[in-house]
């Protein structure tokens, strides 16, 4: 009998525990439980707290960067599958979606059919933003209008204002049709449109801006329209995202953050974080106090079976690519190792070339001992044999310098330009490159 009573008591305790777990939420005051949890709470509990990180106004979305501009096979199409694993609420782009640079409608149709075949597989909305590869000429501009309608637009989601800006606007005042699509700028029409949208949405908690080119690094911001655009944003909390350069870089302007994204399949030597060269998506959590930005490397997103997504997406064939051979070297300045310098290699133009400028071929970034491995087509793949002029650039912080944003060279200025650099040499396979700059 005692065993039976003990057994019944044990069952009663178990039932009570289950009942509590299902009906008594945790918290100091059981009458005011946190939403969501149903768990038995005691004086001491094996968790930190149960304040759920789930504000109803908080949301998450993803941004993909350049797919084209020498795009590589199977990257963007796999990115779609990887993003579906993460389940953001929607996805935005920063342009260069198709290869473009053609006036043939058949080719334009083929490229968009391929790309929209990828985006159709997204399990959430995808927002298009045009790049120079997408709006190359009159034919491609007309096709975009017929296919997608607007080339710039806005939307509001959970009190956040989103702008899709066209940095490849056509110059309607330019009479020469071939020149109407050459410059990159925000037209007065766009600026007026966005100014009206801003006026109509004075109380949004944040403004998010997406465009293809980093117009703010140009020398004349009045001419390209970015100055007027920033003027309209004065007093706002906003964040800007762009692509085009295929290199990740963060800028701060007017106290706001501007992000130049790397690639989602576009041409890249993929030398890693130090060079800002990698395939990624940007993951944004919109919180009460502003966006929380994180960058997720594509190859780090795998399904539960750890298998890489399957794809037959082709890449763009590079015609007559340079053929590097393995190479290593050392840079010195007046005989001492030159650390943290970016050195670039320029080859003479072909005899038949109309442009007589020397051709950028490879570059490298020196380590603490002045050692380097040049990269031509891929990361650290070496240098083609031949004659070169070498330049050197040393930034204030000793980081890799790509040249898209002008900085002061800590080395004598003559070393920073191929036209004035005194150093020339001929490279042959098997040789160790030794470069000595002299003041």
In this predicted model, what pLDDT tens digit does every residue of 207-244 receive, in sequence order? Answer: 999 999 999 999 999 999 999 999 999 999 999 999 99
Same domain, 243 and 387: no
The pair of structure tokens assigned to 97 is 């979606």
Give the domain-ending residue among 35, 52, 69: 52
For 295, what's the count of Cα atoms within 13 Å in the CB-facing half-sphere?
A: 19
Report the pLDDT averaged over residues 252-267: 98
For residues 168 and 27, state if they share a domain: no
In a domain, 154, yes or no: yes
Torsion of CA 185, 188, 194, 200, to 10 degrees: 170
Q: Are residues 64 and 48 part of one domain? A: no
In this structure, is residue 118 part of a structural domain?
Answer: yes
Same domain (yes/no): 386, 291: no
Residue 383 lies in a domain: yes
pLDDT of residue 59: 98
Q: 75 and 205 share a domain?
A: yes
Q: Give one DSSP letter per residue of 169-193, joined into a string.
A: ---TT--SGGGTTTS-B--HHHHHH
What pLDDT is recorded for position 319?
83
Residues 111 and 27 reside in one and the same domain: no
pTM above 0.75, yes or no: yes
Among 283, 299, 315, the domain boundary falls at: 299
Average pLDDT over every residue of 389-414: 94
Q: Is residue 316 part of a domain?
A: no
**Predicted confidence (pLDDT) at residue 418 exceeds the cutoff of 70:** yes
Cα radius of gyration rounded to whole Å, the chain: 28
Residue 370 belongs to a domain with what CATH number? 2.60.40
The string of DSSP letters for 286-331 reads EETTEEEEEEEEGGG---TT-PPPP-----PPPSS----B---EEE
Confidence of residue 312 (pLDDT cuts 50, 70, 90): very high
Q: Please, what sign has the CA dihedral across residues 414, 419, 422, 427?
A: positive
Is 309 among the domain residues? no
Q: What is the pLDDT of residues 342-357, one digit of tens each?
A: 999 999 998 888 888 9
> Is the domain of 200 the same as that of 335?
no
Residue 131 and residue 162 in one domain? yes
Whether residue 389 is found in the same domain as residue 287: no
- 163: domain CATH number is 3.60.21.10
pLDDT tens for 110-122 read 999 999 999 999 9
Evaluate whether residue 304 is within a structural domain. no
Q: Within a domain: residue 249?
A: yes
Return the pLDDT at 104. Answer: 98
Domain that includes residue 349, residue range: 329-437
* Segment 179-217, tens digit of pLDDT: 788 889 999 999 999 999 999 999 999 999 999 999 999
Cα–Cα distance list, 365 to 43, 164, 338, 361, 391 (Å): 58, 35, 10, 14, 12
Long-range CB pairs of 395-398, under 8 A, 24+ apart, other chains included: 395/340, 395/342, 398/339, 398/340, 398/341
Residue 159, SS3 per DSSP: coil
Question: How many structural domains does the chain have?
Answer: 3
CB 384 within 8 Å of CB 433: no
Domain co-membership, 83 together with 206? yes
Contact between 204 and 163 (Cβ < 8 Å): no
Question: Both 63 and 45 in a single domain?
Answer: no
The per-residue pLDDT for 170 is 86
pLDDT value at residue 22? 39
Does the pLDDT of residue 139 top 50, yes or no? yes
| Ramachandran category for residue 270: left, alpha or beta (phi over 0 → left; psi -120 to 50 → alpha) | left
Give CA separation, 10 vs 17, 22, 283, 439, in Å: 11, 18, 49, 88
Instruction: For residues 15 and 90, state if they share a domain.
Output: no
pLDDT over 60 at 415, yes or no: yes
Of 252, 277, 299, the residue at which a domain comes to its end is 299
Domain-located, residue 324: no
pLDDT at 173 over 90: no
């Amino acid at each position: 009998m005692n065993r039976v009573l003990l057994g019944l008591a044990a069952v009663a305790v178990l039932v009570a525990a289950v009942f509590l777990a299902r009906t008594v939420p945790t918290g100091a005051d059981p009458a005011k439980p946190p939403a969501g949890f149903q768990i038995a709470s005691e004086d001491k509990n094996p968790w930190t707290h149960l304040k759920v990180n789930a504000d109803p106004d908080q949301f998450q979305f993803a941004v993909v960067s350049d797919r084209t501009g020498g795009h590589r096979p199977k990257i963007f199409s796999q990115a779609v599958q990887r993003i579906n694993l993460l389940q953001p609420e929607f996805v935005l782009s920063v342009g260069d979606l198709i290869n473009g640079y053609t006036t043939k409608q058949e080719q334009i149709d083929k490229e968009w059919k391929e790309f929209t075949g990828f985006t159709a597989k997204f399990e959430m909305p995808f927002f298009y933003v045009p790049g120079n590869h997408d709006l190359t000429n009159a034919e491609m501009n007309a096709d975009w209008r017929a296919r997608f309608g607007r080339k710039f637009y806005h939307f509001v989601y959970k009190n956040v204002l989103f702008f899709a800006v066209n940095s490849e606007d056509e110059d309607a005042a330019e009479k020469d049709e071939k020149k109407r699509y050459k410059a990159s700028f925000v037209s007065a029409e766009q600026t007026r449109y966005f100014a009206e949208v801003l006026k109509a949405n004075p109380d949004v908690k944040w403004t998010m801006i997406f465009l293809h080119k980093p117009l703010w690094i140009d020398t004349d911001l009045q001419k390209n329209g970015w100055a007027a655009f920033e003027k309209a944003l004065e007093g706002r909390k906003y964040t800007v995202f762009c692509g085009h350069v295929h290199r990740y870089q963060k800028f701060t302007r007017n106290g706001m953050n501007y992000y130049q994204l790397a690639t989602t399949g576009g041409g890249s030597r993929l030398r890693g974080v130090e060079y800002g060269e990698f395939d990624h998506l940007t993951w944004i959590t919109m919180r009460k106090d502003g966006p929380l930005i994180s960058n997720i490397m594509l190859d780090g997103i795998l399904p539960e079976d750890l298998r890489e997504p399957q794809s037959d997406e082709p890449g763009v064939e590079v015609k007559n690519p340079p053929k590097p051979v393995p190479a290593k070297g050392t840079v010195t300045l007046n005989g001492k190792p030159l650390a943290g310098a970016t050195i670039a290699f320029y080859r003479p133009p072909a005899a038949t070339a109309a442009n007589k400028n020397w051709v950028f071929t490879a570059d490298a970034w020196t380590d603490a001992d002045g050692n380097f491995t040049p990269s031509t087509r891929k990361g650290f793949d070496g240098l083609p044999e031949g004659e070169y002029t070498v330049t050197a650039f040393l930034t204030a912080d000793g980081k890799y310098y790509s040249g898209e944003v002008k900085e002061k060279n800590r080395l004598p200025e003559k070393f920073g330009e191929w036209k004035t650099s005194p150093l020339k040499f001929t490279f042959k396979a098997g040789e160790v490159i030794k470069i000595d700059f002299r003041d």
